[in-house]
């Protein structure tokens, strides 16, 4: 029976053309070989399973090839190449620094470097996981690494570059390896399936590549596991069952239930997910990734960032067409906060359920056009926007008398006539700012028109404070100072829809003044009410003037603390020296 060889070893690249996802490394090393500009030492850095050791072996094989091609590739036919392929080369030494990390090991290596190769051009030392060397071993290696013999090349590989001392880094030519993209992984997996006679659908490849998280070696290990489970015909269902992956369908259903405000359905769906063995944190992260993908699909220029199969991408585009960006951003903020607090929550299941119910009723906190629905029937469409009333139509509805129509047809008054013209009566919305108790008019800003016939509706305090916190969270990334001021400001909603905002200094008031228009517009949209005023004031901390205690006051204070002092004073007949 033929011995089984894992795919990671069987399909390990043996030439530059077979290296996956590291084109910038391959082209640089090829050019260095062709122009004979090779450094004395190389440092290959990057995550696990991306090809660091593989490229080191190919480089060692290529520079010792006796019949090098013009493109910088080994011939695979000379004695040096054949001995390398058979793992019998005396010029290439691979050392594991994790188990050979002492000073004595490095001194032994330095002694070996003194002897020239018996055949071939270079002696190559590949030191894997070099960050595991001790500080003393690094110091013992410095001189040899800086000035090695002309026939010696060092290739160091590490996954943790920050653990290597700077003196080592300065003596090496550093190459940073990238994570393997999902597209490159799928291309390699399809090539292997063609060689092995295995049939698999695109969605199965995507699941394997996403689970590998940028490591080609992990992807091949998962592929071997799936082929052992499913045989020669691999489906997406087989991958989901074997890898215990949460299917996309759950997240699509959650978004649909949020649109319908079906809280009961969401809780039942989450219970079904936990019954399958998934924890709440995994569900929160997956749902946040799903909403991120919906946000990416809204702009044609960012659709390329979506790393899924074509069938799933079509579903994302379809659902994104009925979604709203403001809702997605608010939902992502809720999920992010829930993920941060998940680790400290005692009842984690309830913690996730609360986050899902917040998403379900998020439109009651902040009104988003994507979540508007008619009271007669709730629909799954996230973009049932209310009809927009044009300003011209409002003006036409406000015309109640022929005198107003005549006034509109009159030519504009001159400046002198305007100064003589008495002030008109009627409700006028004039937001103002109070500074230190004095009322100052705010700069003229375009405010939404309010019908004088419409009665002023009272604002719900709960709705206002939720909208206030929501705006602070939305600007926290771009306007940190503004968000911090909103956090510590003393805010009060008075009768008549007057919002009192008390700040600590005049500087904060000036900063708020620049952003008042955006804040007012956000609050108006969130509360569905434009009839409110913003008033600012500066609150100065009370200054308490403290004077030093007199001698009698000091004695009285001491008596209060320790009454025995009074008895001692009376027994000894002492007097206070004032």
- Provide the Cα torsion 379, 385, 387, 390; round to 10°: 180
CA angle 520-458-395, nearest 5°?
A: 65
Q: Please, what's the b/e burial string for 477-494 (b: 16 or more CB within 10 A of its CB; e: otherwise)?
A: eebeebbebbeebeeebe
Joined tokens for residue 357: 């119910």
- Those residues whose C-beta lies under 8 Å from the C-beta of residue 261, and which sit 6 or more positions away, are 360, 361, 363, 373, 378
pLDDT at site 5: 82
Scanning 22-96, the segments in alpha helix (DSSP H) are: 23-35, 52-63, 79-85
pLDDT at site 546: 56
Tell the burial category of 222 from Cβ atoms under 10 Å away from its Cβ (0-12, 13-18, 19+). buried
pLDDT at site 386: 44
CA angle 520-522-524, nearest 5°?
A: 65
Nearest to 511, CA basis, from 532, 486, 474: 486
pTM for this model (two decimals): 0.57
Q: What domains are there in the chain, each with its CATH number? A: 7-176 (3.40.50.300), 182-243 (1.10.8.60), 252-371 (1.20.272.10), 478-538 (no CATH), 547-578 (no CATH)
Q: How far apart are CA 208 and CA 229, in angstroms?
A: 14
pLDDT at site 540: 61
- 536 neighbors 501 (Cβ within 8 angstroms): yes
pLDDT at site 515: 73
Joined tokens for residue 262: 């079906």
- 226 neighbors 242 (Cβ within 8 angstroms): yes
Q: How far apart are CA 122 and CA 128, in angstroms?
A: 19
pLDDT at site 461: 77
- Average pLDDT for runs of 10 along the chain of length 578: 77 87 89 87 90 90 85 83 83 86 87 83 89 88 87 90 89 90 88 88 85 87 87 84 81 89 89 87 90 87 80 85 85 89 88 89 60 42 44 43 44 47 42 39 44 58 80 80 80 80 79 77 80 78 57 80 82 74
The tokens 């090839």 sit on which residue? 65
pLDDT at site 541: 52
Joined tokens for residue 231: 């045989």
461-474 and 325-342 helices, crossing angle to 10°: 90
Q: How far apart are CA 543 and CA 530, in angstroms?
A: 39
- 249 neighbors 214 (Cβ within 8 angstroms): no
Joined tokens for residue 234: 């691999």
pLDDT at site 365: 58
């Amino acid at each position: 029976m033929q011995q089984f060889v894992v795919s990671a070893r069987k399909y390990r690249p043996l030439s530059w053309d077979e290296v996956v996802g590291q084109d910038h490394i391959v082209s640089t090393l090829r050019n260095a070989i062709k122009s004979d500009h090779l450094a004395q030492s190389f440092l290959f850095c990057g995550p696990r399973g991306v090809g660091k050791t593989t490229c080191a072996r190919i480089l060692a094989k290529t520079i010792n090839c006796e019949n090098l091609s013009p493109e910088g590739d080994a011939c695979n036919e000379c004695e040096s190449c054949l001995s390398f392929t058979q793992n019998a080369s005396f010029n290439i030494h691979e050392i594991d620094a994790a188990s050979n990390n002492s000073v004595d090991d490095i001194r032994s290596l330095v002694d070996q470097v003194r002897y020239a190769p018996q055949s071939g051009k270079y002696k190559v030392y590949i030191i894997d996981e070099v960050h595991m060397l001790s500080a003393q071993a690094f110091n013992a290696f410095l001189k040899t690494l800086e000035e090695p013999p002309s026939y010696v090349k060092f290739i160091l590989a590490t996954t943790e570059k920050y653990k290597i001392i700077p003196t080592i880094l300065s003596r090496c030519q550093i190459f940073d390896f990238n994570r393997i993209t999902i597209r490159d992984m799928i291309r390699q997996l399809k090539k292997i399936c063609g060689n092995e006679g295995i049939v698999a659908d695109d969605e199965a490849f995507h699941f394997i590549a996403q689970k590998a998280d940028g490591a080609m070696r992990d992807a091949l290990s998962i592929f071997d596991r799936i082929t052992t489970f499913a045989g020669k015909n691999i489906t997406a269902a087989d991958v989901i069952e074997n890898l215990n992956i949460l299917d996309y369908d759950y997240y699509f259903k959650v978004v649909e239930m949020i649109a319908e405000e079906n809280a009961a359905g969401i809780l039942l769906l989450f219970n079904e997910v936990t019954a399958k063995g998934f924890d709440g944190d995994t569900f929160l992260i997956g749902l946040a990734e799903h909403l991120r993908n919906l946000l990416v699909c809204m702009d044609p220029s960012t659709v390329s960032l979506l790393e899924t199969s074509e069938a799933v991408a079509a579903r994302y585009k379809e659902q994104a067409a009925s979604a709203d960006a403001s809702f997605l951003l608010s939902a992502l903020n809720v999920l992010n906060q829930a993920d941060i607090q998940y680790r400290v929550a005692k009842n984690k299941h309830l913690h996730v359920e609360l986050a899902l119910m917040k998403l379900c009723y998020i439109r009651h906190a902040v009104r988003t056009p994507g979540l508007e629905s008619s009271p007669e029937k709730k629909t799954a469409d996230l973009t049932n926007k209310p009809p927009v009333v044009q300003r011209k139509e409002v003006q036409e509805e406000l015309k109640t008398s022929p005198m107003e129509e005549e006034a509109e047809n009159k030519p504009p008054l001159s400046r002198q006539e305007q100064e003589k013209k008495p002030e008109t009566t009627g409700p006028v919305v004039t937001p103002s700012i109070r500074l230190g108790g004095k009322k100052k008019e705010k700069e003229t800003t375009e405010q939404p028109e309010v019908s004088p016939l419409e009665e002023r509706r009272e604002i719900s305090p709960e709705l206002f404070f939720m909208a206030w916190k929501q705006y602070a969270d939305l600007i926290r990334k771009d306007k940190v100072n503004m968000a911090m001021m909103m956090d510590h400001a003393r805010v009060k909603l008075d009768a008549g829809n007057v919002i009192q905002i008390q700040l600590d200094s005049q500087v904060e008031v000036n900063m708020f003044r620049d952003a008042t228009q955006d804040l007012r517009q956000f609050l108006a949209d969130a509360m569905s009410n434009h009839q409110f005023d913003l008033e600012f004031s500066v609150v100065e901390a009370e200054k308490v003037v403290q004077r030093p205690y007199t001698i009698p006051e000091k004695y009285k204070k001491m008596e209060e603390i320790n009454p025995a002092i009074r008895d001692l004073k009376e027994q000894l007949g002492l007097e206070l020296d004032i």
